[in-house]
């Protein structure tokens, strides 16, 4: 069977679905029914979803949960989280309640600088290029004025432009390295538009620069694009308390728990195999809030993991210490987020999530998101250093296993009661279902 098609994007949604189910599925009727099952009955809302991306055939749902009781800088939040993984929302909620009674989370935005680059090739003397840039730097900013004037009125805009020589890595390779302040906007379109204007100015002004040879005048722009690595768009989140307040587990003393916890963080700081999983747990909390608020979690992930590798070795994003009887757990993390533009004014649930958070500014959202990551990591490390990760996680995963085996409501009630006092494993649940049914 021929599975290729031309003109797919020009088909209606119904025509796309008909071709897909007839070509790729053994039971076309069931496949079509499932796709339509996830359509929204509100045609206007469905059209909005259909226009977010190309070639839409249905909606893909994720649960939207809420973790309440987050005390951040003396203000209480209920944090929305869009995620499919069991135990994440429960763990965040538990950590929030734990720290609520111990003064809550303290946060601060350290900086909000974002970065974009024009990558270009110049086959000439670097000293001449430096002279050229010094003479024309102001022209780059002036030419971008139509793009930046509205941002400047709000206090943002272009912060600086630098010429960077990268010829030691690639022959003739240079950059215009620009920094921006985009306020409450994530700013991707703004930054990219400015960079493309810089590239036009670069090529035009090079043609008019008298000391360039004819070859030097022909600067080749390779690309103009923002960077998702934002090491100077940083937020800090922290919790601390007296050691004796630390544990709720009677099987381990507060002092022992604190010491084990700090050692667990120390291990993640020097062992990449552990650090990756350690940071993945942080991102469970961060991604869930980023997604719920209509931000780009792929960009956040890429930037965060680059930051975790900034010393040349991948390392923990969180840190912990015991000093003068005080336990402190903290994190500094790069987060480029926005609360205006993009999906924030289009997706109804994004608007709801932002209203739930009190219509935060981008800086406030950075702090909320960082706290979600810190709380998630605290919950994971507390489990790892006491009961083990599986006890709590598998109990939360129990419902997924029961749903896989299409357990009835009566079966779920009996099996949930059974596993309150028994270890949850996949095989144990399967055996319990079989015993119940036979």
Nearest to 229, CA basis, from 333, 303, 336: 303
Catalytic residue among 85, 108, 216, 256: 85
Nearest to 235, CA basis, from 329, 109, 132: 109
CA distances from 337 to 57, 258, 299 (A): 29, 33, 10
Predicted local distance difference test score (pLDDT) of residue 426: 78
Q: Are strands 173-181 and 157-165 parallel, antiparallel or unpaired?
A: antiparallel
CA distances from 139 to 76, 135, 284, 404 (A): 48, 8, 44, 63
Segments of the chain scoring below 70 in pLDDT: 248, 388-397
The pTM of this model reads 0.89
Catalytic residue among 114, 296, 347, 364: 296
- The predicted-structure confidence for 312-369, as pLDDT tens digits, reads as follows 999 999 999 999 999 999 999 999 999 998 888 899 999 999 999 999 999 999 999 9
- The predicted-structure confidence for 353-408, as pLDDT tens digits, reads as follows 999 999 999 999 999 999 999 999 999 999 999 876 555 556 566 877 888 888 88
- The predicted-structure confidence for 58-87, as pLDDT tens digits, reads as follows 999 999 999 999 999 999 999 999 999 989
Predicted local distance difference test score (pLDDT) of residue 396: 62
Nearest to 58, CA basis, from 8, 17, 23, 7: 17
355 is catalytic: no
Catalytic residue among 200, 260, 280, 395: 280
Predicted local distance difference test score (pLDDT) of residue 11: 96
Q: Are strands 173-181 and 318-323 parallel, antiparallel or unpaired?
A: unpaired
Catalytic residue among 32, 119, 278, 393: 393
Residues contacting residue 395 through CB under 8 Å, at least 6 positions apart? 419, 424
What residue segments make up the domains of the chain, in order of their start? 8-50, 64-110+234-387, 114-227, 393-437
324 is catalytic: no
CA distance 86 to 397: 6
The domain over range 64-110+234-387 is classified in CATH as 3.90.770.10: yes
CA distance 66 to 214: 63
85 is catalytic: yes
CB neighbours of residue 180 within 10 Å: 24
Predicted local distance difference test score (pLDDT) of residue 394: 60
Region 114-227: CATH code: 3.30.70.420
184 is catalytic: no
């Amino acid at each position: 069977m021929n599975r290729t098609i031309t003109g797919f994007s020009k088909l209606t949604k119904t025509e796309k679905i008909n071709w897909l189910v007839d070509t790729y599925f053994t039971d076309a009727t069931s496949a079509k029914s499932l796709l339509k099952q996830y359509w929204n009955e509100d045609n206007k809302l469905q059209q909005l979803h259909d226009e977010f991306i190309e070639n839409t055939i249905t909606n893909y749902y994720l649960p939207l949960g809420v973790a309440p009781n987050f005390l951040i800088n003396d203000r209480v939040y209920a944090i929305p989280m869009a995620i499919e993984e069991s135990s994440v929302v429960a763990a965040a909620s538990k950590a929030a309640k734990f720290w609520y009674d111990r003064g809550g989370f303290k946060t601060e935005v350290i900086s909000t600088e974002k970065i974009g680059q024009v990558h270009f090739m110049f086959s000439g003397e670097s000293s001449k290029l430096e002279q050229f840039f010094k003479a024309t730097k102001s022209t780059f900013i002036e030419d971008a004025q139509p793009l930046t004037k509205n941002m400047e009125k709000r206090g943002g805009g272009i912060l600086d432009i630098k010429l960077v020589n990268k010829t030691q890595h690639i022959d003739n390779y240079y950059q215009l390295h620009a920094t921006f302040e985009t306020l409450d906007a994530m700013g991707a379109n703004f930054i990219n538009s400015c960079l493309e204007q810089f590239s036009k100015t670069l090529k035009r002004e090079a043609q008019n620069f008298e000391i360039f040879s004819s070859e030097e005048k022909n600067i080749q722009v390779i690309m103009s694009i923002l960077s998702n690595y934002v090491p100077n768009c940083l937020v800090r989140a922290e919790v601390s308390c007296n050691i004796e307040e630390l544990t709720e587990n009677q099987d381990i003393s507060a002092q022992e728990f604190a010491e084990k916890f700090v050692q667990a963080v120390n291990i993640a700081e020097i062992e990449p195999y552990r650090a990756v999983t350690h940071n993945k747990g942080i991102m469970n909390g961060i991604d869930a809030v980023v997604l719920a608020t209509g931000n780009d979690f792929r960009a956040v992930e890429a930037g965060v993991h680059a930051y975790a590798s900034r010393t040349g070795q991948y390392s923990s994003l969180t840190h912990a210490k015991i000093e003068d009887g005080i336990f402190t757990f903290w994190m500094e993390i790069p987060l480029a987020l926005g609360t205006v533009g993009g999906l924030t004014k289009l997706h109804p649930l994004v608007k709801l999530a932002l209203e739930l958070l009190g219509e935060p500014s981008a800086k406030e959202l950075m702090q909320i998101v960082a706290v979600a990551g810190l709380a998630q990591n605290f919950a994971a490390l507390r489990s790892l250093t006491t009961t083990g990760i599986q006890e709590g996680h598998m109990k939360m995963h129990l419902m997924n296993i029961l749903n896989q085996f299409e357990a009835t409501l009566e079966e779920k009630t009996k099996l949930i009661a059974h596993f309150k006092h028994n270890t949850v494993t996949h095989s144990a649940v399967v055996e319990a279902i079989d015993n119940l049914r036979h």
